[in-house]
């Protein structure tokens, strides 16, 4: 169970502003013989919950938008709002990619509806780990 807790923590941290990667932990456990479905479920759960924290941070910062020390300049915020308005919530399907945490943060900052955000995060994060499990399984079968 400790290896799965480590995977959960790695996946959680990878979806927050903390610079962390979960792929090596996932692939290491897969190579050690852990069932891919279990790994996908644990990693996806951790990653989605980490993204929920990032979303909550964005929402918290959103309440401070009018504060004089708000770290984002109005022009930057307007650009982010324009980008998000153009690409919409579907951009959250890219939340698995590098820089995807910023998309989740902006969704929180702009107060995107949580149920829809959560659905898109589950699709994106689970898809990512399914693809990783497939790639890892394929690589292991070649060895």
Q: What is the pLDDT of residues 94-119, one digit of tens each?
A: 999 988 998 999 899 888 999 999 99
The mean pLDDT value for 21-43 works out to 96
Give me the percent of the chain exceeding a pLDDT of 70.
Answer: 92
Instruction: Convert the pLDDT of each residue in 65-94 to its tens digit.
Output: 666 666 667 787 788 778 777 878 899 999
**According to the model, what pLDDT value does residue 112 have?**
92
**According to the model, what pLDDT value does residue 137 have?**
87
How many angstroms separate the CA atoms of 112 and 83, rounded? 14
**According to the model, what pLDDT value does residue 31 have?**
95
50, 69, 43, 10: which is closest to 130 by C-alpha? 43
104, 102, 96: which is closest to 131 by C-alpha? 96
* HEC string for 105-117: HHHHHCCCCHHHH
Greater confidence, 130 or 139?
A: 130
128, 56, 53: which is closest to 93 by C-alpha? 128
**According to the model, what pLDDT value does residue 1 have?**
85
């Amino acid at each position: 169970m400790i290896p799965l807790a480590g995977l959960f923590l790695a996946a959680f941290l990878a979806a927050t502003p903390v610079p962390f990667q979960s792929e090596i932990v996932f692939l290491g456990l897969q190579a050690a013989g852990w069932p891919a479905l279990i790994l996908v479920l644990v990693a996806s759960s951790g990653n989605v919950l980490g993204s929920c924290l990032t979303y909550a941070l964005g929402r918290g910062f959103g309440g401070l938008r009018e504060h004089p020390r708000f770290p984002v300049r109005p022009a930057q915020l307007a650009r982010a709002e324009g980008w998000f308005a153009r690409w919409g919530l579907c951009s959250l399907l890219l939340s698995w990619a590098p820089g995807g945490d910023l998309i989740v943060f902006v969704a929180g900052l702009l107060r995107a509806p949580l149920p829809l955000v959560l659905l898109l995060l589950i699709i994106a994060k689970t898809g990512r780990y399914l693809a990783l499990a497939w790639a890892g399984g394929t690589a292991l079968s070649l060895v």
